[in-house]
Amino acid sequence: ALPIVAVVGRPNVGKSTFVNRIVGGQDAIVHEMRGVTRDRSYHEADWNGVHFTLIDTGGIEMGNDDAFQESIRNQAVMATQEADAVVFLVDGRTGAAPDDLEVARILKRSGKPVVLAVNKMDAPGKEDGLWEFYSLGLGDPWPISSIHGHGTGDLLDEVVGYI
């Protein structure tokens, strides 16, 4: 079986955009699961000859706050259970949110390698928003733009080093 990399994070941080950029034109969805807390799609990915399965988690539905937070927690726990490495995506425009801290806590507890990617950093060099993400306690935050592609290569180099 191929190594598994899971992409986790709050809704709208850009997980699906990121996954689409990585798997690109030759996307093959290997498998899909649907359900509020199980919603995920599995894609074949390749980076410099390293093949792996990339999981896009998503579909967390807005309910009351408790249900919402519980579904974020479930997503993170389930993703870490099956993954060999995790890309934790956060939104560089909104900054670190309370739900990011909650996910960070779960990821740290899992013991799995986690690479912290700060998405929506569309202008390289203007990275003042990056530093507050050190507060998540997951090491260096990697600035990326899933829309433009900036930084995604360096991030993937880091990720495949863990699988």
Residue 13 lies near ligand GDP (rule: CB under 6 A) = yes
Residue 17 lies near Mg ion (rule: CB under 5 A) = no
122's contact among ligand GDP, Mg ion, none, with CB below 5 to 8 A by partner kind, is ligand GDP
Binding mask 50-89 for Mg ion (x = CB under 5 A): --------x-------------------------------
Three-state DSSP at 34 gives: coil
Which CB, 1 or 62, lies closer to ligand GDP?
A: 62
To the nearest 10°, the Cα dihedral for 16, 119, 49, 51?
-40
Residues 16, 69, 74, 110: which binds Mg ion (CB under 5 A)? 16
Nearest CA to 116 out of 73, 78, 162 is that of: 162
3-state SS record for 76-128 = HHHHHHHCCEEEEEEECCCCCCHHHHHHHHHHHHHCCCEEEEEECCCCCCCCH
Binding residues for GTP: 9-16, 56-60, 119-122
- For Mg ion, the binding residues (CB under 5 A) are 15-16, 58
